[in-house]
Each structure stands twice: as structure tokens, then as C-alpha cells.
């Protein structure tokens, strides 16, 4: 270890030094970052007026964009409501009532005419049609007078298909026909079809159809009668033997009675189906080819059996008529054994040059 001696060091007392110093002047001093890595705290500059203007414009644009979005949503809802016929249309607009008021007897008897009336107020011109729901064992017929005679025949109205009522505007006479021994409930609909557009209105009514009442046999206690002397018994004359009924298969025959077309393109075809054979036909079907803008084939419901010598008149109405051929084929599948299959079809040309595509296609 070294030992330092201080004996050679003199104290600096009474030692003066004259140094020429420049005069003191005012200088600025700045704080610089320290060498130990600690920085001075940042200074906050107050926002300028330009920043406030930009923020205000941004807020205004955001509010305007939000209002435009609300307007677009409301317009979309209104547009959807105008195109819809469901719940939205009931919220945003009130539609005109399209209900036909239909009245019918609460009950009726099979084979007895009934009056069905209705009430509907409209400024449109059009036609009314009758429609009833298919019920097993229940049919409706319309009484029609044969041209040139006083004979009234019953034209069967097929179920599930609209039957045009011609010039009827408030009521129609129909005949319910029941083929069972139990009552049936018929649901009937009256439809109004405007000629100028596809607007339709309808109304329904129900009616119970009861089977026809059979005569009730009554018995009375006979009053005593005075005894009479027996008269001689006459000798019976021999009665002629009944002529045997001819036997053989059925024979369906179809014939067209009339075809008419009005200026609007609505056509009415009337044709007769008869059984000229010697046996009942049983259930049968028929088809009809219609001269319409779009080719259409009508397929009938199962038809009731025709006994020998009986016939039925059918009416078929359709729209959008064009020039063509109307044809009917009875028993197209040859399900009925017949003596002659050559008289099961018939056709007739139809001429109409006033086809109007704006009228919707309809079949009754």
C-alpha cells in the first residue's frame, strides 16, 4: 500500500489570480435530453380551429347519411306493401272489399229445386259462376229447356269446376241430387269475374241436402162389411208372355249440340252423351280438346252410369278462344265394353278472330 505524503503540498491561501473575463451577456438556455436516457415530458399543443371545423363537418355528414338510410328503408317497406296482397297490404293501404254475399236455404231435399241468391255491388262488368265442393254422393244440376221444345232436362254441374251462370246477376235455380241415404252438407261458392281485368270476388254458403222422403205406408182398421154371397169365379184368360228384353253390351254415343263464342272470346260448347246400347255403361269418363291460345285438354270427373236409352247434356265453357277444332272423346281408355267404339268421338271447327291475350284463361 502506497503512502502519500502531504508535506510537499502548500495551502492555497493568499493566492490570487487575475483572469480577463468577457462581459456577461443574456443568453438562452435549452434543456436537452439527459445522457442517462430520461426524456423531457412532451408539450401539449392546443387544437387549432381547422381541426374543429373538420370534426363538425364529419358529424353533419354522418347525420345526413343516417337520415338517408332511414328514408330508403321506409321507401322499401312501402314498395313491398304495394306489391303484396297479404298482411303488409292491410297495414299500409285499405283494399276494396271483394266478398260476395251469398244466401241459400239452410236445408233442402234431394231432387227439389232451390234458389241461391247473392248480392255484390261493383262498377265492373263481368259474369257470375257457381262452384261447389266435391262431396261423395252429392251433385248439382241446372234445369235447361231444350231448344224448340217445352221439355226441361237437368244438366249436371261437375264438382270442383266453375259453372258460368250466363245472364244471371242475383239468383239461380239449381237442383241438388243425392245418391246416398244420409244427409250431405254442400259448400257452394258464387264467383264474380270482371271482363276488363282479372279481378275476382267470391262468397260462400252452406246447405244441408237431405234424401228424398219415401212414402210412409199407413194401416187402418177395416170396418166390418156385410157378407156377400160368393159369386162364381171367372175363368182367367191366358195373359200374353212378356217380350224378353234384348240383351247386349252398352253403346256410348256423343254428339255436339251447339258451340257459340261471344266478342270477348268466351265460348260455350253443349254436347250430348247417350247410351244407345242394351246394358248400363257403369262409370265412365270423357275428355275435350279446347281451341284456346294455349292448347288445353279437359279431363272430366267420374260420370254416373247411363242406363239403356238414357242420355245427359253437358256444357263446357272456356276463354281465350282461337280458330281451331273443338273435339270430345267419350271413354278414351275403352274401359266400358261397347257394341260400337266408332261413335265415341266427335269434333267441330270453331272460328274466332278476336283473340284478346289480356283475358285470363278460364275453364268452367
Q: How far apart are CA 21 and CA 24, in angstroms?
A: 9
Residue 257 has pLDDT above 90, yes or no: yes
10 Å Cβ neighbour count for 104? 19
Q: For residue 287, list its beta bridge partners.
A: 299, 329
pTM, two decimals, is: 0.37
Q: How far apart are CA 36 and CA 13, in angstroms?
A: 38
Q: For residue 348, list its beta bridge partners.
A: 326
Residue 93 pLDDT class (50, 70, 90 cuts): very low
Tell me the pLDDT tens digit for each residue of 9-60. Answer: 555 444 444 445 555 555 554 455 554 545 555 555 555 566 788 888 989 9
Q: Quick one: average pLDDT of 221-245?
A: 62
| Rounded alpha-carbon distances, angstroms, from residue 134 to 49, 228, 362 | 84, 62, 19
pLDDT of residue 331: 93
Q: How far apart are CA 204 and CA 229, in angstroms?
A: 70
Residue 156 has pLDDT above 90, yes or no: no
Residue 102, H or E segment: strand 101-103
Tell me the pLDDT tens digit for each residue of 53-82. Answer: 888 898 999 999 999 999 999 998 988 877
Q: For residue 194, list its beta bridge partners.
A: 126
Q: How far apart are CA 313 and CA 146, in angstroms?
A: 10
Least confident among 159-168, 217-226, 299-308, 340-349: 217-226
pLDDT averaged over the chain? 78
Q: How far apart are CA 350 and CA 52, in angstroms?
A: 84
At a CB cut-off of 8 Å and minimum separation 6, what does 110 contact? 176, 177, 178, 209, 210, 211, 212
| Rounded alpha-carbon distances, angstroms, from residue 70 to 22, 61, 64, 67, 75 | 79, 14, 10, 5, 9
> Measuring CA to CA, which residue among 147, 164, 342, 182 is closest to residue 252?
342
Q: Which residue has the cell 297490404?
A: 89
pLDDT of residue 13: 47
Residue 328 has pLDDT above 80, yes or no: yes
Q: How far apart are CA 113 and CA 205, in angstroms?
A: 17
Q: Quick one: average pLDDT of 209-236?
A: 60
Q: How far apart are CA 118 and CA 116, in angstroms?
A: 7
Written as one string, the DSSP assignment of 176-232 is: EEE-SSS-EEEEEEEEEEESSSS-EEEEEEEEEEEPPPPPPP---PPPP----PPPP
At a CB cut-off of 8 Å and minimum separation 6, what does 161 contact? 131, 363, 364
Contact 189, 203 (CB under 8 A): yes
Q: Quick one: average pLDDT of 153-160?
A: 84
Which is it for strands 163-164 and 171-178: parallel, antiparallel or unpaired? unpaired
Residue 5 pLDDT class (50, 70, 90 cuts): very low
Contact 317, 130 (CB under 8 A): no
Contact 316, 269 (CB under 8 A): yes
Which is it for strands 324-330 and 311-318: parallel, antiparallel or unpaired? unpaired
CA 110 from chain center: how many Å?
A: 30
Amino acid at each position: 500500500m502506497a503512502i502519500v505524503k502531504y508535506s510537499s503540498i502548500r495551502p492555497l491561501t493568499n493566492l490570487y489570480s487575475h483572469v480577463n473575463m468577457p462581459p456577461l451577456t443574456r443568453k438562452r438556455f435549452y434543456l436537452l435530453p439527459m445522457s442517462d436516457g430520461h426524456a423531457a415530458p412532451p408539450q401539449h399543443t392546443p387544437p387549432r380551429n381547422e381541426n374543429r371545423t373538420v370534426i363538425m363537418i364529419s358529424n353533419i355528414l354522418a347525420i345526413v347519411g343516417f337520415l338517408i338510410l332511414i328514408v330508403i328503408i321506409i321507401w322499401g317497406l312501402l314498395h313491398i306493401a304495394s306489391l303484396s296482397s297479404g298482411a303488409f297490404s292491410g297495414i299500409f293501404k285499405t283494399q276494396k272489399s271483394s266478398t260476395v254475399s251469398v244466401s241459400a236455404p239452410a236445408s233442402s231435399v234431394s231432387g227439389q229445386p232451390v234458389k241461391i241468391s247473392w248480392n255484390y255491388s261493383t262498377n265492373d262488368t263481368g259474369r257470375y259462376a257457381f262452384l261447389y265442393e266435391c262431396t261423395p254422393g252429392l251433385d248439382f244440376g241446372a234445369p235447361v229447356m231444350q231448344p224448340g221444345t217445352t221439355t226441361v232436362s237437368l244438366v249436371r254441374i261437375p264438382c270442383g269446376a266453375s259453372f258460368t251462370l250466363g245472364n244471371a246477376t242475383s239468383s239461380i235455380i239449381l237442383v241438388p241430387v243425392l245418391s246416398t241415404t244420409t244427409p250431405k252438407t254442400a259448400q257452394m261458392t258464387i264467383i264474380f269475374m270482371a271482363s276488363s281485368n282479372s279481378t275476382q270476388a267470391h262468397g260462400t254458403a252452406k246447405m244441408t241436402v237431405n234424401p228424398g222422403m219415401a212414402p210412409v205406408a199407413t194401416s187402418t182398421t177395416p170396418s166390418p162389411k156385410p157378407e156377400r154371397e160368393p159369386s162364381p169365379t171367372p175363368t182367367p184368360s191366358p195373359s200374353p208372355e212378356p217380350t224378353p228384353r234384348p240383351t247386349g253390351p252398352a253403346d256410348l254415343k256423343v254428339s255436339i249440340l251447339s258451340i257459340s263464342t261471344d266478342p270477348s272470346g268466351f265460348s260455350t260448347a253443349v254436347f250430348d252423351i247417350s247410351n244407345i246400347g242394351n246394358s248400363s255403361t257403369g262409370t265412365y269418363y270423357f275428355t275435350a280438346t279446347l281451341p284456346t291460345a294455349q292448347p288445353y285438354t279437359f279431363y272430366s270427373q267420374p260420370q254416373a252410369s247411363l242406363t239403356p236409352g238414357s242420355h245427359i247434356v253437358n256444357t263446357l265453357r272456356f276463354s281465350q278462344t282461337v280458330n281451331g277444332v273443338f273435339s270430345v272423346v267419350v271413354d278414351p281408355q275403352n274401359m266400358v265394353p261397347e257394341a260400337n267404339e266408332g261413335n265415341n268421338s266427335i269434333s267441330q271447327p270453331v272460328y274466332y278472330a278476336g283473340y284478346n291475350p289480356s283475358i285470363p284463361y278460364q275453364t268452367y
